[in-house]
Amino acid sequence: MELQTLKNILGPEGVITNKDIHGGYTTDWTGRYIGSTPAVLFPKDTAQVSQVLQWCFANSVAVIPQGGNTGMVGGATPLNGELILSLKKMTNIEETDGVSGQLVTQAGVTLGDVQQAAIKLGWKYGVDLSARDSASIGGTIATNAGGSQVLRYGNTRRQVLGLEAVTGTGEVVGDLRGLAKDNTGYHLPGLLCGSEGTLAVVTRARLRLVNAPEEEISILLGFESLQEALRVVEVVKKDLYDVQACEIFFRNGLSLVCDQFGLTPPWSTPSNVYLLVDAAGQSGLVDRISQSPLAGFLESSKYVAFGSDAVSRKRIWRYRELHTEAISATGVPHKLDVTIPHGRLADFYDNIEAVVRSIDNDAQLFLFGHAGDGNIHVNILGPEPEDLTVDKVVLEFVASIGGSISAEHGIGRAKASYLHFNRTDSEIELFRRVKVAFDPAGILNPGAIFNK
Ligand SMILES: Cc1cc2nc3c(=O)[nH]c(=O)nc-3n(C[C@H](O)[C@H](O)[C@H](O)COP(=O)(O)OP(=O)(O)OC[C@H]3O[C@@H](n4cnc5c(N)ncnc54)[C@H](O)[C@@H]3O)c2cc1C
């Protein structure tokens, strides 16, 4: 491929080729998708992104936008030799406003850096996930990332007040005014959130911040049965106004985490099910919890641990956050991130093991996730990474009970064949027409969301 024009646009340090391209760009985080690319491009600003995409459009060259490459669905992997457009050098937080609680950032800034900038400003950014130090704001917008605090603050789409993006022809669209009310036609930020780099490259965003809590507390609870745990989930969602996360994991997952990372389990007797409840709010939090219906469960349970400062909270959170890494350190997992409709979680748990075993009797099944949102991460080790039979039956099962085959990770390449489990033919056709409007030459992330 003739790369001289791109080098002229980006400068020699803005294009890397051959031996300088390592797996961090071409292999996805799970290790399941391995691609290759002639070059990784590093624009520094929106004008450069626009020039690069004008060239790609004119020359029909496919390009994959990439942030931290922490996505879970092969959405940023160049399986067909596409160029990679990395936002890693677009790392300026350009504007912070401590009065309105907003900031404007380039898309390559990590989620962790935005969180820190918000704290410095006396506010908080309402999205959190354990890949925070690598995942980019552009990537979280492109995947409409969820994470542990959706229960309280909503997903990424809820945080984006305005954005700027470059379409597949190189045209710059959007605005960063962040008006509280602006019903002027279609809502571009809403459409581009979750578009997975198939419509436009997000270059900058104006984000809303939420009130910083004065106190935070983490509570770990152990249960014998899932039914007991689900009863507490209901109480937490309905009656604990300060709740900001309600996470679930199970005995085999915790055991794997403790083995892999040398952690001591929370109690000498293992529980079958664990809930991690995080509460945050104004001072007086402990009093409010002790007057809430949750207090009864806390008093009667033998298995409760509290974390009320940064160190003890982190210790508790490690049991949950290290699940993804512990599983990936054991093998290449089939990762299926699903939402179960309200009231069907018990049904799901009763059947999921049999569904997996119907394909591979020796498979290891690990479940964990965001119980408060009905969002469960189904991780399966055993079946060969390229054998997708187990993926199909699990997603079919989830769709059959009214769930979503992608809660927060997106469709990417991993689930493109199954989009029709949740979307009608007419809807998929409409999506394709929207893509053509933004990307008439089909150069932006081909193969993601849609089978070609
Ligand atoms: C340990 C771990 C825990 C995780 N936990 C969660 C979780 O709790 N919740 C959750 O939702 N996700 C989670 N994820 C998944 C991942 O972190 C998110 O999907 C994140 O939003 C990806 O951001 P990224 O910058 O790494 O994007 P990438 O992986 O680089 O890209 C993801 C997708 O976005 C597109 N893209 C990237 N940047 C842009 C841009 N600027 N413009 C247009 N398109 C772009 C890519 O083409 C691709 O389709 C986790 C991942 C890991 C490794």
Q: Contact at 8 Å (CB) between 60 and 16?
A: no
Report yes or no on 305 lying in a domain: yes
62 within domain boundaries: yes
| Residue 390 belongs to domain with CATH number | 3.30.70.2740
339 lines ligand 1 (CB under 6 A): no
- Domain membership flag for residue 342: yes
- Give the residue ranges of DSSP H helices in 102-216: 111-120, 137-142, 150-153, 156-159, 188-192
Do residues 193 and 300 both lie within one domain? no
State whether 380 and 282 are in the same domain.
no
Please indicate, yes or no, if residue 446 is contained in any of the structural domains: no
CATH number at residue 65: 3.30.43.10
How would you classify the pairing of strands 39-41 and 83-86?
Answer: parallel
**145 touches ligand 1 (CB under 6 Å):** yes
Q: What is the CA radius of gyration of the chain?
A: 22
Which of 52, 86, 120 is the last residue in one of the domains? Answer: 86
Question: What is the predicted pLDDT for the residue at 2?
Answer: 85
State how far the Cα of 57 lies from the Cα of 77, in Å rounded to an integer.
20
Indicate if 66 and 46 belong to the same structural domain.
Answer: yes
78 lines ligand 1 (CB under 6 A): no
On average, the pLDDT of the chain sits at 96
In a shared domain, residues 314 and 234: yes
CA distance 104 to 419: 33
* Domain boundaries, position 231: 215-323
What is the three-class DSSP state of 383? Answer: coil
- Supply the DSSP string of 384-443, one letter for each residue: -TT--HHHHHHHHHHHHTT-BS-SSS--TTTTGGGGGGTS-HHHHHHHHHHHHHH-TT--
State how many domains the chain has: 4
> In the prediction, which pLDDT does 7 show?
96
147 lines ligand 1 (CB under 6 A): yes
Ligand 1 centroid, distance to 121 Cα (angstroms): 25
Helix-strand-coil percent breakdown of the chain, rounded to 5?
35, 25, 40
Q: How many CA within 13 A on the CB side of residue 50?
A: 10
65 lines ligand 1 (CB under 6 A): yes
- Is the CB of 108 inside a 6 Å radius of any atom of ligand 1? no
Domain-ending residue, one of 211, 232, 248: 211
Which residues fall within 8 angstroms of residue 349, CB to CB, at 6 or more apart?
Answer: 226, 367
Q: Would the CA dihedral through 109, 111, 113, 118 be positive or negative?
A: positive
**pLDDT score recorded for residue 1:** 76
CA separation for the pair 398, 249 (Å, rounded): 19
Q: Which residues of the chain have pLDDT under 50?
A: none
Residue 364 to residue 252: CA distance in whole angstroms:
9
Shared domain for 239 and 140, answered yes or no, is no
For ligand 1, pick from 143, 244, 318, 338 the residue to mutate: most ligand atoms within 8 Å of CB. Answer: 143
| Residues 225, 329: Cα–Cα separation, whole Å | 28
Assess whether the C-beta atom of 67 lies below 6 angstroms from ligand 1. Answer: yes
pTM greater than the 0.85 cutoff = yes
Residues 97 and 207 in one domain: yes
Instruction: Assess if residue 42 is contained within a domain.
Output: yes
Q: Is the CB of 70 under 6 A from ligand 1?
A: yes
Q: Pick the atom of ligand 1 nearest to 203's CA.
A: 41
CB atoms within 10 A of CB 397: 20
Question: How many secondary structure helices (H) and strands (E) does the chain include?
Answer: 17, 18
Q: How far is the CA of 332 from the centre of ligand 1 (A)?
A: 18
Q: What distance in Å separates the CA atoms of residue 192 and residue 202, rounded to the nearest whole number?
A: 8
In a domain, 266, yes or no: yes
Same domain, 125 and 191: yes
Last residue of a domain, one of 211, 240, 272: 211
Q: How far is CA 235 from CA 148, 295, 296, 348, in A?
A: 18, 10, 11, 20
To test ligand 1's pocket by mutation, which of 50, 129, 173 has the most ligand atoms within 8 angstroms of CB? 129
